[in-house]
Structure 1
Amino acid sequence: LPALGQAVKPTTLDQRFLLCPYCQQHRAQVWGDGRGGRTCHCPECGPVSVAADDMAALALDEDWLRRKLRLALSIESRDGIDALGDGVWRLGDSRCSPVLLARDLIRLWREPALLDRVRVAGGAIRVITPKPRETRGAPFGPGVEWLALEDRFAFYGGGISFIAPTGEPPAPQASDPRTPVKGPFSADFRWVTLPEGPHGPIRLTEAQAAVFEALWSFKGEPRTADQIMRRAGLNSDKPIDVFKVKARDKGKPEAEGPLFAYRALVVVQGRQGLYSIRQAPPLRSAASQP
């Protein structure tokens, strides 16, 4: 849950039924116990007391998902999000190509007119959907690029990153140079944005950006300080050296912010002398139901 951050929000369940709190295997009907509490009648466990936490639930924040997908594809903010029908949205234009997000690939197969509504001359349509189990290869014809949500996007640092296929040129840089493009980092690693913290977008020095870029290039795999600093092109002994706050800069956000980001994002295995950047898993469970 701390990793998911703002991607999820509280939601309500059908108060009449819930998953058995004891075995977590059967949905059972909830009854009052006559003493102000509740109990469920599990077909396997029998009567089981129900606590308030047993009725709590979370759901994907769909507005959050749509906004973060726009950022990942460098869709200009002046383009609004248009609902084309139940479960289909036009997110805007990326590289002059319309981008659609749909809950279900089958919906677009059954209603190809939805694609015709956004089609532009000389430009392909990019379609984002969860990946059906039975679908292989390219499900659409020429002029439509399918981006499987689980394969082409990753959840990281409170945002979403686009995973470009091998050989595809990088997405154009967003108009705001601070915009997270590579996980929480801007395209040039000079800015880092964290979901938690008092600093807002944090500006990094060239050396600090080089350290984060080196760590990012190892894709979360632990590396020694020597490997990291050599990849960053720096002479310091350890990554932390370029983040230390001098006495005269104590309390200054421009100095404290990068150190805060380092502590939040870098995993240090002290005994082994290894460093890695925190890598969140691909956005599967949270984003597989847009």
Structure 2
Amino acid sequence: MAAHDAWALICRLFAGGTPVLRATLSSREASVLSVLGKAVKPTVVDQSFVLCPHCQQHRAQVWGDGRGGRMCRCPDCGPVAVEANDGAALTLDEDWLRQKMRLALGIESRDGIDDLGDGVWRLGDARRSPVLLARDLARVLHEPALLDRVRVGSGDIRVITPKPSTPRGSPFGAGVEWMALEDRFTFYGGGITLIGAPPSATPVVIDPATPVNGPFSTDFRWATLPDVQTTPIQFTDGQSRVLGALWSFKGEATTAERIMQRAGLDSAKPSDLFKIKAKDKGKPGPAAQHAAYGALVVTQQRAGLYAMPCAAAGKEVAMT
């Protein structure tokens, strides 16, 4: 069971791509840190904001208490003392992951690892089949040129990614094999082992834009708003964090400060992320993002409050 929990934590850290506070780990995740060895390592994160040590629900700004200690002010708990270990964080050693994945797949050591950018790597060739490791399946689905860059003749390509939240069939056509990181590999003996395919595996089709949270996809990167655009609207990482933060308040009118703290961003107000820059004027993507924000968010300018009415009946999501 420890190996299963250890691998689940590795996959979560890889999919996230950012350090996590030790305080946010579940008891099962914390219990396997000693098993993981070199797979994870301590790291330094911005100490100007911490997750509230009391409720662990809100990110709050830290300041000195004038007596050598530190405090934060949680919107729910009020002033809370911050200890040194409240900012302790860890991260996945992704070089370790990529090297162990190469060993598990039998990739020859003479093949180097190519960083293709934005969370995609070519690990090398396994039995003459190029292998891509990606942090997000949607990244590969929406940029098929990545496959063309590594394709060798008519040979097959293997794409390895964490499982998305809404599997709906085979994501690729013939010649591309998708391998779910969580299902096809596991942590064993300090390394990574390839697991054989299930005898009657059923292909799954993935549509990352499928509405899960009201009009939003599970990661708030997409919104389906037929009145704004006939096709799903894709958002940037910052925009998706703002929308997820607004959704988490379940329709309650909230100050810009609380929203941006929960989103983990430094902008003054949510609308900053949706302004159309001069260089983007006339482009359909930024215009659709701006229109979507206007359709989804109600602003009380005099009071400085923001609300997302469609989230009133939604389920609160945890922001990381």
3-state DSSP of counterpart to 1:40: strand
Between 1 and 2, higher relative CO (CA 8 Å, sep ≥ 6) is seen in 1
CA distance in 2, matches of 1:137, 1:98: 22
RMSD of equivalent CA atoms: 1.4
CA distance in 1, matches of 2:102, 2:168: 26
- Residues 1:81 and 2:81 are matched in the alignment: no
Q: Which residue of 2 aligns with 1:116?
A: 148
Q: Which residue of 2 aligns with 1:39?
A: 71
CA distance in 1, matches of 2:98, 2:139: 18
- Residues 1:51 and 2:51 are matched in the alignment: no
* Structure 1: 4+ residue segments shifted above 2 A: none
Residue 143 of structure 1: which of 163, 171, 175 is its match?
175
CA distance in 1, matches of 2:129, 2:36: 29
Q: State the Cα distance separating 1:27 from its structure 2 match.
A: 1.5
Q: State the Cα distance separating 1:137 from its structure 2 match.
A: 2.4
CA distance in 2, matches of 1:73, 1:137: 24
Aligned pairs for 1:239-278 (under 5 A) are none
Residue 57 of structure 2: which of 9, 13, 25 is its match?
25
Aligned pairs for 1:176-195 (under 5 A) are none
3-state DSSP of counterpart to 1:67: helix
- Residues 1:70 and 2:102 are matched in the alignment: yes
Residue 195 of structure 2: which of 144, 163, 188 is its match?
163
TM-score (norm 2): 0.51
Q: State the Cα distance separating 1:155 from its structure 2 match.
A: 1.3
Equivalent AA in structure 2 for residue 21 of structure 1: P
Give deviations 1:36-70, integer Å, cap 9, x for gaps.
Answer: 11011112222111111111100111111101110
CA distance in 2, matches of 1:33, 1:158: 43
CA distance in 2, matches of 1:149, 1:115: 18
Q: Which residue of 1 aligns with 2:301?
A: none
Is the contact made by 1:3 and 1:157 (CA closer than 8 Å) also made in structure 2? no
Aligned pairs for 1:219-258 (under 5 A) are none
Q: State the Cα distance separating 1:126 from its structure 2 match.
A: 0.3
Q: Which residue of 2 aligns with 1:92?
A: 124
Q: State the Cα distance separating 1:164 from its structure 2 match.
A: 1.3
Is the contact made by 1:75 and 1:93 (CA closer than 8 Å) also made in structure 2? yes
Consecutive unaligned residues in structure 1, runs of 5 or more: 169-290
Equivalent AA in structure 1 for residue 97 of structure 2: L
Is the contact made by 1:140 and 1:146 (CA closer than 8 Å) also made in structure 2? yes
Consecutive unaligned residues in structure 2, runs of 5 or more: 1-32, 201-320
In terms of fraction of residues, the more helix-rich structure is 2
Q: Which residue of 2 aligns with 1:12?
A: 44
CA distance in 2, matches of 1:23, 1:109: 38
The structure whose Rg is larger is 1
Q: Which residue of 1 aligns with 2:138?
A: 106
CA distance in 2, matches of 1:155, 1:138: 26
Equivalent AA in structure 2 for residue 23 of structure 1: C
Q: State the Cα distance separating 1:135 from its structure 2 match.
A: 2.5
TM-score (norm 1): 0.56
CA distance in 1, matches of 2:35, 2:189: 8
Q: State the Cα distance separating 1:72 from its structure 2 match.
A: 0.7
